[in-house]
Amino acid sequence: MDLQLAKKNAVVTGAASGVGRSIALCLSKEGVNVVISDRAMEKAENAAGECVQLIDRADELLGPLDILVNSAGIWPTNLVVDIPVEEWRKTFDVNLTAVFLTCQRFAQKVLSRGGKGKILNITSQAAFNGSTTGHSHYAAAKSGVVTFTISMSRELAPKGINVNALALGMAETQMNQDILATNRGYYENRIQIGRIAKPVEVARFAVFLVSGCADYFTGAVYDATGGMITR
């Protein structure tokens, strides 16, 4: 199948490792020109300036942008009674505010030239089920990504920008490696398929969602959880 991606220009955040890295590599294999971002987003320092500069710089390097994938995220662990306010704010800055800012600037760029584009935001099954392991702030931010994605699609799809989200379960990533080393069985027992996802398995579907073959898909959140959640 021709995914109609050759020579498209994309930005992928959180692309130094894990699912973001796999998405960037899979896009590249399809002939996409990819600008990746990681550490600057995760520091959450001067988030507004960094996010806008990322999109602007990518546009300068590649030309008009066609695709934005927001995969950057942090997953701090603390029970509700113990979450410091600064940790709460940083979790929202990285997992939600940065998504807003990159999406906003990407949309401004695409609409200013009368073009078309695809946005894919990576969220989590925790957005629907909440957290049972001390990640309530993460779950709340990821829930925000879901509703923001749907709202954006209502505004932008009629203008030529498709907006979707991909809700992940557990994947073999650097962010999850410590908790999987000590509590793998807990997560595997919740997954119908019975194993943790490989990042490339998620990436292949992500690439489809930003491809020309998915022009009719927008305003949806797709589950990539191996049956951890069923909706």
Query: Which of 138, 187, 216, 222 does the annotation list as catalytic?
Result: 138
CA–CA distances in Å: residue 161 to residues 22, 74, 107, 158: 23, 27, 8, 7
Which residues contact residue 22 at a Cβ distance below 8 angstroms, ignoring those fewer than 6 apart?
A: 199, 200, 202, 203
Residue 138 a catalytic site member: yes
As a whole number of angstroms, the distance between CA 125 and CA 31 comes to 30
Q: Which residues are catalytic?
A: 138
